[in-house]
Amino acid sequence: MNILSGTLDISLPEMEWIKNFDPRKRFLTGWSYKLAKRAMDIICVLLLSPLWLPLIILITLIIMITCGKPVLFIQLRTGKGGKRFKMYKFRTMVKNAEEVKKELARIDKEGNLAGPLKLKADPRVTPIGRFLRKTSLDEIPQAINILLGNMSLVGPRPTSWSPESYKLWHTERLDVLPGLTGLWQLADRGGENFDEWLRWDCRYIERRSIWLDFMILVKTGVNFFKQPGAR
């Protein structure tokens, strides 16, 4: 696989459908694509509000009873153009998780995470947090981020570490809004290889279209009911 040369090598049989999305045959490009994508984000989130709003209320009550406040975990993430924004998730960790993280992760001189932190048995995660993560229900509050316009339904997942820690070719993922789901979640959801994660992001960026977004959302929905698990 060579992203820089434009060669697309899909070695996973279940992901070969991506080859059908030829960037030269996109119906919408430029601003027309951006407007259509933004309209799809807003319409989908609003139409699904009868589903996610009751879930937010229910999960809020469960967290308050079992773990206390705060209910939400608010963290700075890196979005489009390297701009930092506040991303919302349900709290799945103990209250002193940031202090514990410093003992487990590599932190840069600014105090930011210098790389992805993936642990098979993270001691910071609460019992209810493990369930929320496995089912991805901890991500529901990001509906707010989508409505605010700093995230999209589909796109590269926003990282918690600063863009200065990226390699040059990694910054291609900053050309688009980060997303709630994307190709990486479908191909290698629990993978710990950051370069491969970024390659899936680049594959999406190179071939992005409204139809590709729709396909990713459908396949993400199927995977949700299969409950593949995540960390």
The three state secondary structure string of 211-225 is HHHHHHHHHHHHHHH
pLDDT at 229: 47
> Which tokens belong to 21?
């999305």
What angle do the packed helices 30-47 and 210-226 form, to 10 degrees?
30
Is the predicted pLDDT of residue 230 greater than 60, yes or no? no
What are the DSSP E strand ranges found in the chain? 72-78, 84-90, 152-154, 179-181
Burial 159-188 (b: 16+ CB within 10 A, else e): bebbbebbeeebebbbebbbbbbbbbbbbb
Looking at per-residue pLDDT, the higher value among 91 and 27 belongs to 91
Is the predicted pLDDT of residue 73 greater than 60, yes or no? yes
In the structure, what pLDDT confidence band is assigned to residue 6 with cuts at 50, 70 and 90?
Answer: very low
**Average pLDDT over every residue of 47-55:** 95
Q: How many CB atoms lie within 10 A of CB 45?
A: 18
